[in-house]
Structure 1
Amino acid sequence: MDVQAKIKETVTSNKVVLYMKGSPKFPQCGFSSVAAQILNACGAEFVAVDVLQDMEVREGIKQFANWPTIPQLYVGGEFIGGADIMRSMYQSGELQELLAKA
């Protein structure tokens, strides 16, 4: 299975997926830490994928959403955005609504 198919399967078979550097308990960058904290603050159940464990996924995810940075949040198979977008959606309450629907 190629990396794009693998990513597509992950984001479509899980309601909420966060591609990040490190894990929610041990994030390896500030933006990944913020993204995981936001999801935890929302009480969201999510699957975290550590891109540092797989270079193919790390490069492939950037192409998948045509988004150059990590972390990346997917809800219901749709690309939502990175840490800055998550932060502004969280502050407006939009992220909580989106996660509640998922």
Structure 2
Amino acid sequence: MSDTNERIAKIVNEHDVVLFMKGTPLFPQCGFSSRAVAILEHCGVDFDSVDVLQDSEIRQGIKAFSDWPTIPQLYVKGEFVGGSDIMMEMYEAGELKQLLEEKQVTKAN
């Protein structure tokens, strides 16, 4: 496993919910990342984020790690969920909230 894959695996496994995104939750740098943050905030869960614009190795490596070509990417309890379109579909169907509850993700304060 490459150093980048090890770094990504460590991030994914250390946090219940992690969003690899462009920018930060306060200052998303693309519409898809902004939508992903809004969805997680609507779900009311604590989440960590990684700004892929700050690290080109992570930016490229996350695509290979998940075998998913786009960013943002959501991981819940170490499991890849999908990008913003999948998050939106799951949110609208109630599946994302259900997944977060099943995985016993910590609610935001």
Q: Provide TM-score, normalisation by structure 1.
A: 0.97
Q: Residue type matched to 1:39 in 2?
A: L
SS in 1 for 2:70: coil
1:53-92 paired onto structure 2 within 5 Å: 53-92=54-93
Structure 1 runs of 4+ aligned residues shifted over 3 Å read none
* Aligned 1:31-70 pairs, distance under 5 A: 31-70=32-71
CA RMSD of aligned residues (A): 0.9
Shift of 1:98: 1.2
Aligned residues with identical type, % of pairs: 59
Q: Which runs of 5+ in 1 are unaligned?
A: none
Match of 2:44, SS? coil
Q: Give the corresponding residue for 1:28.
A: 29
Shift of 1:97: 1.2
Deviation for aligned residue 1:42: 0.4
**With structure 2 as the length reference, what TM-score do the two structures score?**
0.91
Give structure 2 stretches of 5+ with no counterpart. Answer: none
DSSP 3-state at the match of 1:19: strand
